[in-house]
Amino acid sequence: MVCQICGEKSGFFPICKSCNTLREEGKVSKCQECGVWKKGDKLLCYDCFLKKKGFDKKQAENYKQTDEEKEEEDFRNKFPATYITEDGHRVRSKAEQIIDNWLYHKGIVHSYERRVPIEEEVYCDFFIPLGEKVWIEFWGSEEEKYLKRKRLKKSYYAKYKKNLIELDDKDIEKLDDILPIKLRPFLPPTFSFD
């Protein structure tokens, strides 16, 4: 397993020895809302702080939800998360279950369907806070409506300069070969996939 804060090897523990020392000094703590380890002694991580204060809502009071955002909301309601992963996440497809289990077995801290911190209401398939923050999208359909949604989401990632990793059905077949190559630039240099 790797440390959830610095990415160093941590044995069977969520944080390494040096980060544990920082924890004892009060320089590292666990978010009381989501349970993610973070630097500092604040009770909440940055994302949970924003959510608690209501800053995760639309910033502009006159903001009107676009048709695409309504479709995103409909999609999430139409396809409930019924597949259960080994770490307890509920996901919407067998492919997402495979991705989630792969991340879990590699000791990579991740969350499922986390809101991307941008003005528009966009949810990623997977979020990895380790190293440079990374958002993973699995594109699982070729229907025109879905492709329109895909183009829109990709434009938001580009607009806000978010690190995006894209996966599709052919990547799932060889995930052990593909995902380490795509993740490597964003993870700490000391991270090992062993």
Give the domain CATH number at 145: 3.40.960.10
DSSP 8-class letter at 168: E
In the structure, what pLDDT confidence band is assigned to residue 70 with cuts at 50, 70 and 90? Answer: low
Name 154's Cβ contacts closer than 8 Å, sequence gap at least 6.
137, 164, 166
Number of domains in the chain: 2
User: What is the per-residue pLDDT across 102-112, written as a single tens digit (0 to 9) for each?
Assistant: 999 999 999 99
User: What is the per-residue pLDDT across 115-170, written as a single tens digit (0 to 9) for each?
Assistant: 898 888 889 999 999 889 999 999 988 888 889 889 999 999 999 999 999 999 99
In the structure, what pLDDT confidence band is assigned to residue 194 with cuts at 50, 70 and 90? Answer: confident
DSSP 8-class letter at 131: S
DSSP 8-class letter at 128: E
d(CA 129, CA 109): 7
d(CA 118, CA 122): 8
Check: CB of residue 134 under 8 Å from CB of residue 186.
Answer: yes
Residues 2 and 37 in one domain: yes
Query: Is there a domain that residue 1 lies in?
Result: yes
Residues 50 and 63 in one domain: no
Which residues form the domain of 105? 59-186
The pLDDT mean for the chain works out to 84
d(CA 70, CA 115): 15
150 residue type, one letter = K
In the structure, what pLDDT confidence band is assigned to residue 65 with cuts at 50, 70 and 90? Answer: low
Residues 80 and 172 in one domain: yes
Residues 86 and 156 in one domain: yes
Query: Is there a domain that residue 13 lies in?
Result: yes
Check: CB of residue 3 under 8 Å from CB of residue 10.
Answer: yes
Query: Is there a domain that residue 24 lies in?
Result: yes
Mean pLDDT of the region 162-183: 96
Residues 101 and 164 in one domain: yes
Query: Is there a domain that residue 193 lies in?
Result: no
Chain-centroid distance of CA 183 in Å reads: 12
Residue-level pLDDT at 173: 93
Residues 84 and 123 in one domain: yes
Query: Is there a domain that residue 191 lies in?
Result: no
Nearest Cα neighbor of 183 from 164, 170, 168, 169 is 164
Query: Is there a domain that residue 158 lies in?
Result: yes
Check: CB of residue 65 under 8 Å from CB of residue 76.
Answer: no
Residues 110 and 121 in one domain: yes
Residues 175 and 97 in one domain: yes
Query: Is there a domain that residue 164 lies in?
Result: yes
Give the side-chain half-sphere CA count within 13 A for 39: 6
Length of the chain: 194
Residues 45 and 71 in one domain: no
For residue 115, what are the β-bridge partners? 123
